[in-house]
Amino acid sequence: MTDAAFSALASLADPSLLLMLAIGVLAGLVIGLIPGLGGTGAVAILLPVTFGMDPEPALAMLIGALAVVHTSDTVAAVLLGAPGSASASVTMLDGYAMARQGQAKRALSLAFLSSMAGGLIGAVGLTLAIPLARPLVLSFGSPELFMLTVLGVSLAAVLSRGNVVKGLTAGFLGLLLGLVGTSPTTAEERFSFGSLFLSDGLSLVAVALGVFGLAEIASRVGQRRVAEKPVELTGGWASGIREWLTHWTQVIRGSLIGIWAGILPGVGATAGTWLAYGQAVATAKDKRKFGKGDPRGIVGPESANNSVEAGDLIPTFLFGIPGGVPSAMLLGMLLTYGIQPGPAIVTDHLDLMYLIVWAFAIASIAGAFLCFLATGSLAKLTRVPFAVLGPGLLVVMLLGAFQESGQLGDLWVMVALGVAGFFLKATGMPRAPFLIGFVLAIPMERYYYLTASLYDGAEWMARPGVLAFAALLVVPVLWSLIKRLRGASGAADDGHRDEHENVAAAGDELEGSLAGTPWSAAVAVVAVFLFGGALWVSGSFSEEARLMPRLVAVCGLVAALVLTWQEARVNRRRAGRDAVKDAREPAGGSGATMLATRVEPRVDTPALTRHHDLVIAARTFAAMAAFLVLVMVGGYAAATLVFTPVFLLYAARTRPRTAIIYTLVLGLVLLSLPSLLPVDLPLGALQ
């Protein structure tokens, strides 16, 4: 075995192979920067290039790209709050918070170094895991996979900042949204209301970029200047490495969880990053800063999301079950070289397996190193006002979302979800459980159904793996209940606690700014109606297809009703307190109040800020809708050329010269993009 390992390493010393690897890494980094393209885009652009090559250089190139896509997709998540994948949304929680406190460079350094280590440990794990993979995969039956999905969603709901009821409500809303489309068990359409477009379910990229990315644009575009604390530019690379080294245990734990999760076919790659975040929070003594820029919240998941990619290669090669589109394409490529996936690949093509391992390791190091070198200049991006970034970002994100399905409908869904994401954000509902619920809804249903039909009665619940996961779920909850019962009575006061958190979260002025107002009560009521409506609609499904939607709707209804009750209580109390409050200084006044300050410096109450935020968001979403209408009429390039200057001149108030140059550059990029990347521009009716 070691012979093969070293001969593979020796073959990588071949300059042409290294060149291919370098091309792969560069392509992967560039494509990863564009939210929404991700690994699929990277493999899709490189795959045609590999036709006619020998398997070794072709593999080196593709693995090079795959290994680094999750390194550079962190950039958009951390700097702009626009995660293009479910795993990037985890890094975003703390990374974006840190960036908004002016520490973008620190957040990126931590993320890149962790990516590097994650990739490296992942490559080692890939080697060691090959003999263990088969028993491990076979020991995970449908019941264990089901529990894993439950664990993923509950961890996200419980660990996200804020109150647990809000987290659960958001998680159930996400699950419900994930159920839209064709049922995995009976192939009947649910919640699609007769639309073939909805019968496919919503696209992950559209949901992630809508709920996070567009909501971010809408909430920050009101700032015509940089409101954050100044960007931290000093502090050399050495200090970044030093700080990162203090978190080395998180790196190792995150990477190991990533490998383990990646090996599990089907759900691992999605749930893995969350499990890493979950353990980081669970094992931390001081949990208060998670979600507000805790370095451990970046290091753990970021190490995991690169080692997940390595772990994912195991089911891909050994069982022919890829964890995602990129590894599926890799599989297809192997097939065209006459290499069949299967347990025999380890004996028949051991040299190739080691080539993959080494290529993965080298690419991770090189990719993360390149990104690390660039952190300083990347971090400067946070100095550009969001109003100026806005149109460019919008154009790029919508284009990214369009690539997955090629449907204009996805873009409308994205804008609608942007509105939803804005309200979730403003009312302090965590959006991460929403996204993870959306991603895991179908696997959860699939494995629940399979468990229920393949096992007699409740015998599956006694399986050791299931018991272990159940313990992971229940023990922390019981523990906190016990602590709460023993602890001070004041801790039970949810409304009070929320407000304290808002003050602490000064890094993001909108987050939770509407919490405790009639707006957040309205969000709770809307949730009640959504769950109620879903319950009613699900009555028309067949028995098997009804199971999961009903369960989600009922549980969600309970959570939403509790939330409504809490909101009502808080609102009542607030009404009584308002008189007192008017005299006080605003609690979370910063950033977005800037404009309000300019207009009317003396009446700077939170209510005015809120009103101002809402007006700006409403205008921005209207502008997005107008853009989509333009796209439908004249096509993407034409719409961009018209929309961008108008937005820049009126909303961002840039100089006419800036607007012209900006638009021309954006237009040129758009027109040249289809020939450089596998990107299609939406066509309009007039084209």
Partner 1 sequence: MTQHVNEEDVATTGDHDVSPAQDSLERPAPSPRLTGAIVAGFAALAVGVSVLGGDLLNPPASTTDGDYSGETVEMMIPLAEGGGTDTWARFVGAELTEAVPGSPGLAPVNDDGGEGILGTNHFMTSAKSDGTEVLVSTASTVVPYLLELPAVHYDFTELRPILANGTGAVVYARTGAGVRGVEDLVDRDKPLVFGGIAATSLDLTTLLAFDLLSADVEATFGFEGRGPVNLALQRGEVDIDYQTTSFYGPAVEPLVEDGTAVPLFSLGQVDEAGEIVRDPNFPDLPTVVEVYEQLHGEQPDPQVLDTYRAILALTYTYQKALWVPEDTPDEAVELLRSTAEDMGADPKFQKSAAEVLGGYPIDASADLAERIGEAYRVDEDVREDVLELLETDYDITID
Phi-psi region of 659 (alpha: psi -120 to 50; beta: other; left: phi over 0): alpha
Q: Does 687 bind partner 1 (CB under 8 A)?
A: yes
Q: Does 641 bind partner 1 (CB under 8 A)?
A: yes
Q: Does 8 bind partner 1 (CB under 8 A)?
A: no
Exposed, middle or buried: residue 26 (CB in 10 Å: 0-12, 13-18, 19+)? middle
Q: Hey, what amino acid is at 186?
A: T
Where would I find the H helices in 35-141?
38-50, 55-80, 86-98, 104-139
Question: What six digits make up the tokens of 341?
Answer: 């996936």
Number of residues that bind partner 1 (CB under 8 A): 106
> 467 to 486, contacts with partner 1 by CB under 8 A?
none
Q: Are 531 and 553 in contact (CB under 8 A)?
A: yes
Phi-psi region of 193 (alpha: psi -120 to 50; beta: other; left: phi over 0): left
Q: Are 411 and 682 in contact (CB under 8 A)?
A: yes
Q: Are 61 and 83 in contact (CB under 8 A)?
A: no
C-beta of 138: minimal distance to partner 1 in Å?
5
Supply angle C-alpha 191, 154, 248, rounded to 5: 130
Among the listed residues 181, 187, 153, 157, the one whose alpha carbon sits nearest the alpha carbon of residue 449? 187
Nearer CB in complex with partner 1: 406/487:
406
Q: Does 542 bind partner 1 (CB under 8 A)?
A: yes
13, 196, 462, 580: residue in contact with partner 1 (rule CB under 8 A): 196
Nearer CB in complex with partner 1: 52/576:
52
C-beta of 528: minimal distance to partner 1 in Å?
30
> 428 to 447, contacts with partner 1 by CB under 8 A?
446
Q: Does 149 bind partner 1 (CB under 8 A)?
A: no
> 226 to 245, contacts with partner 1 by CB under 8 A?
226, 229-235
Nearer CB in complex with partner 1: 44/157:
44
Nearer CB in complex with partner 1: 216/567:
216
- Name the segment binding partner 1 (CB under 8 A); options: 40-48, 299-307, 360-368, 524-532: 40-48
Q: Does 47 bind partner 1 (CB under 8 A)?
A: yes
Beta strands in 204-270 (DSSP E): none
Nearer CB in complex with partner 1: 177/505:
505
C-beta of 276: minimal distance to partner 1 in Å?
22
C-beta of 385: minimal distance to partner 1 in Å?
4
x/- map, 502-541, partner 1, by CB under 8 A: ----xx----------------------------------
Among the listed residues 116, 505, 136, the one whose alpha carbon sits nearest the alpha carbon of residue 294? 505
Contacting residues for 91 by C-beta, under 8 A, at least 6 apart: 74, 77, 78, 83, 111, 273, 298, 301, 302, 305
The C-alpha atoms of residue 327 and residue 70 are separated, in whole angstroms, by 14
Question: What six digits make up the tokens of 362?
Answer: 């080298």
Q: Does 182 bind partner 1 (CB under 8 A)?
A: yes
Q: Does 288 bind partner 1 (CB under 8 A)?
A: no
Contacting residues for 453 by C-beta, under 8 A, at least 6 apart: none
> 399 to 428, contacts with partner 1 by CB under 8 A?
405-407
> 446 to 465, contacts with partner 1 by CB under 8 A?
446, 449-450, 453-454
Nearer CB in complex with partner 1: 456/585:
456
Q: Does 131 bind partner 1 (CB under 8 A)?
A: no
C-beta of 332: minimal distance to partner 1 in Å?
3
* First-to-last C-alpha distance (Å) of the chain: 59
Under DSSP, the state recorded for 101 is I
C-beta of 131: minimal distance to partner 1 in Å?
15
Nearer CB in complex with partner 1: 84/645:
645
136, 197, 472, 551: residue in contact with partner 1 (rule CB under 8 A): 197
> 319 to 378, contacts with partner 1 by CB under 8 A?
319-322, 325-333, 335-345
The C-alpha atoms of residue 683 and residue 635 are separated, in whole angstroms, by 4
Q: Does 293 bind partner 1 (CB under 8 A)?
A: yes
C-beta of 565: minimal distance to partner 1 in Å?
33
